Amino acid sequence: MSSLTEEQKKKFKATFKHYDKDKDGQITFEELGQILRGMGRNTTDVEIYQMQQIHGSDKLDEATYLALLAQKLQEPDSVEEIQKAFDTFFGPGKTTITVDEFKAMMMEFGERVSEDEADELVKDIGLNKEGCIDIKRFIDHVFESK
């Protein structure tokens, strides 16, 4: 939660109180999704469901809500941010990566995925004529699925 400014905390707490209609000190993950989308974040129902599964509850308290918001605000949410990450990882100007490079990146960095999930992503994105993954196509896929 330390990554939130005092102003952000104040604003987010007010939003939490607005959504806590029954005043039990908790909101649902569905409401968290509405809040995140209202903030302009590209958060899917699947991501919300995954967060709910991790926390093992249908609801979250204010402290957990603030921690999740801090985490979500640190995630890249633009094409430019993701492209910058690829440039950092593979070098500027690279437009394609091998399947092995892609899988290594997906399994070791960010929201780590299993090998099966990485294989599924490769299948969803598709390969170019050389059998590589087009970085722009991957980025488009990320924002298409959000």
Which value, in Å, is the radius of gyration of the alpha carbons in the chain? Answer: 18
Report the pLDDT value the prediction gives residue 1, as an integer from 0 to 100: 40
Query: Domain containing 102: what range?
Result: 79-144
- Left if phi > 0, otherwise alpha if psi is -120 to 50, otherwise beta: which for 40? left
Residue 1 covered by a domain? no
**Last-in-domain residue among 19, 48, 74:** 74
Residue 100 covered by a domain? yes
pLDDT tens digits along 4-29: 889 989 999 999 999 999 999 999 99
Residue 38 covered by a domain? yes
Identify whether residues 127 and 67 lie together within a single domain. no
pLDDT tens digits along 105-131: 888 776 678 899 889 999 999 999 999
pLDDT tens digits along 34-53: 998 887 677 788 888 888 89
pLDDT(134) > 70: yes
Residue 40 covered by a domain? yes
61 three-class SS:
strand
